[in-house]
Chains A and B, each alone.
Chain A
Amino acid sequence: MAGYHPPGPSGAPGTIGKRLESKEGKQNRMIEFFKEPNIDWMGKAKYFYALSAILLLIGWFSIWQKGGLYYGIDFKGGTNVDVRFAKAPTVDELRKSLTVQGLGGAEIQAVSDSGLPGQASNEVLIFVEQKGSDDQAIDSSKARVLSALNAIYGVSDTGKADFNLAPLNSLAAILNQKDPLNLGTSAGDRYTLLAKKLLDYRDKVASGLGLVTDLSELSRVDGSTPAVVSVVKDNFSVGPFTIRNTEIVGPKVGAELKWQAIWVTLFALAGMLVYIAFRFEWVFGAAAVLAVFHDVLITLGFFSLLHFEISLTVIAALLTLVGYSMNDTIVIFDRIRENRRLLRKEDFAVLVNKSINQTLSRTILTSGLTFLTVLVLFLMGGQVLRAFSFALVVGIVVGTYSSFGIAAPLVVFWHHWRDKSEAAGSGSQPARKPA
């Protein structure tokens, strides 16, 4: 086969490329970050293990010290209210008012649009835990939070509802009743459409996004006349806050979900173990699963360290991470399997090193690219996805190095241990099992 040269013995960088330049094609000025890497990965394995040990220790010490993982409302149960203010609120005042309602223990957390810390914010998350499983109405906490908010920030105009809190049907009902466009009694639908337009303006266009500071702004809405605006002004006042999101989860539900999440993760891991054991050897499967397990544990540790909340979407991120980390590991195992077929006589550790080196370019590139995409998501994806993207940001980094730093060394170690014990038993070099 003209032009085919098997990969040379380790320690001969660059010669292959040069020799080829005179052969077929003038290949090639490829931009390469990793030209013929030749790193002794198995030798360096101990550093990776040390790093992992440190990360695990720090992470789980934090978890132990804080009394467990920081579960979000999905698992703890309780009430979460996301409030946006026209002007940044004073947390102290807010807490005082909440205490009056018996919610002094509520957690108040500022919401920031970007992932960078230290940004002033007009939005807060108020979390009230629900103790016990008594039968009180599931939304009693929410009602109390609203009362607390109204107590300090509520509008003083008596009788007028708050436009910033008004739902569609009550706005439509008022318009219908007052009939500013003189449409007669059967114009229900048109007023509903108009009300929807007014509310869309409030929620999607107005600078406060959900908040209108002056009802006169409503004249900008397509379909509104001065009569309409004055009807709205007569019947609504403008409050300084709006509720963007509420979540209420009963306490029993939370505990159930936690167990489901654990089971699902274990099942997924088992499924993958079976798949890999089937495609490769079982020891590869075990090593891969252990590495992935290690990734999840470290990620959880980081969550505790940086006080990120574990919600259902975070579990989704963790499961994705499991799949992703498997990917990486599989790519390396694939190469190991291929090389075993080609280089039967090679010492296993050397073979594994070679396999990792050959796939290093791809590994770093892909992880790098995926990492960039989730980093973008973390910084720009908004508050709702922040914990989710954080799990992936940490997970991708850890998942990548765990493939060559944790899983591969495990396989090598097991092979050497097996070979040693077989050699000790039979006194000769055993035949190697093809992959």
Chain B
Amino acid sequence: MNPNLKWKAVFIVFVILFSIYLLIGWPTFPTSVAQIKDNFNHQIKLGLDLQGGTHLIIQVQVQDAIAQETDQMVDRLNKQLRDKSIPFEEIRRVDDTHILVRNIDSTQSAAFRDFITQQYGNYWDASSATGEPSGYMLTLRQSAIASIQESTMNQSKETIERRINQLGLTEPIVQFHGRKDNEILIQLPGEGDPLRAKKIIQVGGQLELRLVHPGGPFTSQAEALAPTSGILPPGAELMPGKNELRSTPGAVPATELWYIVDRAPIVTGKDLRTAQETHSNPNNPGQWQVNFTLSQEAAKRFGPFTEQNIGHQLAIVLEHKIESAPNINGKIEDQGMIEGNFSQESAHDLALVLRAGALPADIKYLEQRTVGPSLGQDSIRHGVQASILSLVVVMLFMVFYYRLSGANAVLALILNLLLLLAALSLFGATLTLPGIAGVILTIGMGVDSNVLVFERVREELRNGKSAAASVDAGFDKAFLTIIDTHVTTVVSAFFLFWFGTGPIKGFAVTLTVGLIANVFTAIFVSKTIFQYHLSKMERQAELSI
């Protein structure tokens, strides 16, 4: 045999063995059929639509985080201007990114401007306020907004990841999504209960501690606003809370109460270091509470704050609802607790959520899909059946129409599929239901390459060339056409990959990999088989095509 041919054959055999190894030899070398099955299942990652699971797309309300920065700035300014003895009439939040400081004493103008530039120059820009003599308008810089957006998104993603990990799923996915920079995609394979997932993600989403204005709680919003003739005092907000009475479960549900609280929280979820559920009352094992610890930096704020406000109530706000509003009885530095009608499970869940960090902003659900495992199983079954049937149909036809050469094509096709699966497993790509359709399309389009070559070979034979020359010419002339046709489909697939999510990406990947493998099998492998066959054939014999 031609030595060149020998090397080609060796190479092909090596590729086959390597592919098989990739599919079933990993991670532990199989010693039984069951082990082979295990390895295979482990290697081929199934998409959500085949194994069942939940898919969520959330939008992080970054605007909230920006507004929060502004609120906290107002607070800081209030304090610091006082400390620096820079008199002013009012510091007012105009909107999410603007603060109006009114009537700075003219002798202190320069000091004020310097102070702002030094301390906050990279975030805020101070300029004279139109229509306000000796007043200043502070504007949040564009770069600061971008930076807040980025850190909010990063922190949201990390927090969600940590929380999702508590669900104990295999290989959940949390990643940035979409072109708008504020969406996150969450994929939870095997999680059949989206409500539970959403609860874990969002509950305790926003922990805030805020000062309660005296006079509350009120039983309606109108009543709350009565003392100030229906207008909210500056820097304050109306918030609903729960009825404080520790009613027994099953009794009349808690009615809503309303409080007037400070707009700016003194402490947020970001400042939380750890949280732990404990028994509230050693005599009542059914009652639980959550103890929390703040970071040192927050404790420095919290200490003086609680000291200054002894006797006032402190609202513990979760998700814009006041969980409880205990009195501040003394100075609290870094340790606090949340009491409520907590069972062990809900206290545990809450502590878990608090521990995993806090979401810096609210999230909104844009999309939610849950595939039940029975549907996934059905899809696998249908997909596999359709693949096998289409493969059989194609194989039968090829052998019938092209005889032995058809068998050649069948071998190439099988190797094509083997390579496709091996490549998917090597890259850790996910197989989805449209991905299986991609496999079927690879079968149809892949056999096209063979048909192209064979028709060309037939033409050359008809023109009188010898078998060997016809085969050579056939492959030569068809090569460019094969490349051309594959390129256009791969271009389509590329756009699909770029634009689609999940299942469609799976389809694009499978089709692309299948077609690339096809170039190898339909040209290199198929030709090698021909050359081998030709070398065994007599010079004048008929080529079975």
Write the residues of chain A forming the contact surface with B, with a CB cutoff of 8 angstroms: 2-5, 7, 16-17, 20, 23-28, 30-33, 82, 84, 135, 137-139, 167-170, 199-200, 202-204, 209-211, 242-250, 252-253, 260-261, 264, 267-268, 271-272, 275, 279, 312-313, 315-316, 319-320, 322-324, 326-327, 330-331, 334, 338, 358-359, 361-362, 365-366, 369-374, 376-377, 380-382, 384-385, 388-389, 392
Contacts and interface: CB of A to CB of B under 8 A. Distances in A.
A372 B393 CA distance: 8
B488 A327 contact: yes
B464 A377 contact: no
B374 A203 contact: yes
A14 B488 CA distance: 36
Given A330-B485, A373-B393, A380-B385, 16 more contacts: A2-B464, A30-B545, A135-B364, A137-B365, A248-B368, A313-B434, A316-B507, A330-B484, A331-B481, A365-B451, A369-B444, A369-B451, A377-B440, A382-B381, A385-B382, A388-B437
A82 B447 CA distance: 37
B11 interface: no
Nearest to B167: A169
A385 B434 contact: yes
Contacts of A252: 366
B246 interface: no
A221 to B, nearest CB: 15
A376 B392 CA distance: 11
A2 B463 CA distance: 10
B407 interface: no
Contact of B378 (A209, A249, A331, A392): A209
A268 B543 contact: no
A271 B481 contact: no
Interface in B185-199: 190, 192-196
Contacts of A261: 499
A217 to B, nearest CB: 15
What bracket does the count of chain B residues touching chain A fall in? 35 or more
Contacts of A382: 378-379, 381-383
A202 B192 CA distance: 13
Given A17-B462, A20-B462, A25 B492 contact: no
13 contacts: A27-B467, A28-B542, A30-B461, A31-B400, A202-B374, A209-B377, A211-B374, A247-B370, A268-B491, A272-B491, A313-B434, A362-B455, A384-B433
B443 interface: yes
A85 B381 CA distance: 20
Interface string B89-126: 00000000000000000000000000000000000000
B389 A25 contact: no
A292 to B, nearest CB: 10
Contacts of B455: 359, 361-362, 365
Contacts of A334: 480-481, 484
A365 B401 contact: yes
Nearest to A202: B374
Given A204-B373, A209-B378, A279-B484, A28 B461 contact: yes
Give me the 9 closest cross-chain CB pairs, A-B, nearest first: A210-B374, A3-B464, A370-B444, A323-B492, A382-B382, A167-B193, A323-B489, A373-B390, A327-B485
Contacts of B367: 138, 248-250, 253
A263 to B, nearest CB: 8
Nearest to A79: B368
Q: Is the interface of A mostly helix, strand, loop or mixed?
A: helix
B464 A20 contact: yes
B441 A373 contact: yes
A95 B192 CA distance: 26
A24 B495 contact: no
Interface of B: 49, 52, 57, 190, 192-196, 364-375, 377-379, 381-383, 385-386, 389-390, 393-394, 397, 400-403, 433-434, 437, 440-441, 443-445, 447-448, 451-452, 455, 458-459, 461-467, 477, 480-481, 484-485, 487-493, 495-496, 498-501, 503-504, 507-508, 511, 540-543, 545
Contacts of B389: 376, 380
B500 A376 contact: no
A5 B463 contact: yes
Contact of A242 (B374, B480, B491, B496): B374
Nearest to B54: A246
A247 B508 CA distance: 22
Contact of B488 (A25, A243, A330, A369): A330
Contacts of B365: 137-139, 248, 250
Contacts of B386: 376-377, 380-381
B401 A31 contact: yes
A138 B368 contact: yes
Contacts of A23: 464
B441 A24 contact: no
Contacts of B465: 3-4, 24
B375 A245 contact: yes
Contacts of B378: 209, 382
A85 B188 CA distance: 26
A331 B481 CA distance: 6
Nearest to B368: A248
Contact of B372 (A203, A253, A359): A203
A204 B540 CA distance: 58
A316 B488 CA distance: 15
Nearest to B198: A139
Contacts of B368: 138-139, 246-248
Q: Determine which residue in B57, B375, B445, B466 has the highest number of CB atoms from chain A within 10 A of its CB, and name it.
A: B375
A138 B463 CA distance: 68
Contacts of B377: 203-204, 209
A370 B393 CA distance: 10
A380 B198 CA distance: 35
B488 to A, nearest CB: 4
A316 B436 CA distance: 13
B236 to A, nearest CB: 24
A20 B455 CA distance: 18
A123 to B, nearest CB: 9
A121 to B, nearest CB: 13
A313 B369 contact: no
Given A362-B452, A370-B441, A381-B383, A320 B489 contact: yes
A275 B491 contact: yes
A169 B166 CA distance: 13
Given A199-B373, A253-B57, A334-B481, A312 B491 contact: no
B504 A381 contact: no
Contacts of A2: 464
Nearest to B375: A244
